[in-house]
Amino acid sequence: MTKTLTGYCGLDCGECPAYVAYRTNDDELRAKMAKEWGSADSPVSPSDINCASCTSDGVRWTWCQQCAVRICAAERNVTTCAVCPDYGCERLEAFFSMAGEEARQKLEALRPTAADASPS
């Protein structure tokens, strides 16, 4: 198990096969995921299965490279969507409906509380 590496959206990049393959240089995993993630209409090559995480300046998996949530968060210069002033926007809600509740729960846990915002 890889240490937790939370993406902008709340997913654990450290658990993503594209990240694991990149970090461990695992060609077997790349080939396996290319078969699983690709289709006749949208083929995926094992060489495509590389990602240094959506929050990095490094290489990204094609889907993550084009992810609207990642692009927005990077433009807004936030560490995760949890700290964005527009948290819960339509873009993020659409992502949650696809990705599931785990990402939402992780971001909810990272949301600043009223106590965090009050002066000391």
Task: Tell me the per-residue pLDDT of 83-114, one tens digit each, with 9 for 90 and over.
Answer: 999 999 999 999 999 888 888 999 999 998 74
Say if residues 81 and 107 touch (Cβ distance below 8 Å). yes
Check residue 59 and give its pLDDT.
Answer: 80
Please name which of 54, 76, 48 lies closest in space to residue 10, comparing C-alpha atoms. Answer: 54
Check residue 100 and give its pLDDT.
Answer: 81
Check residue 77 and give its pLDDT.
Answer: 94
Residues 81, 70: Cα–Cα separation, whole Å: 9
- Annotated domain spans of the chain: 13-111
Task: Tell me the per-residue pLDDT of 58-73, one tens digit each, with 9 for 90 and over.
Answer: 888 778 888 899 999 9
Q: Mean pLDDT over residues 26-52, rounded? A: 93
pTM of the model: 0.77
Percent of the chain having pLDDT more than 70? 91
Check residue 6 and give its pLDDT.
Answer: 87
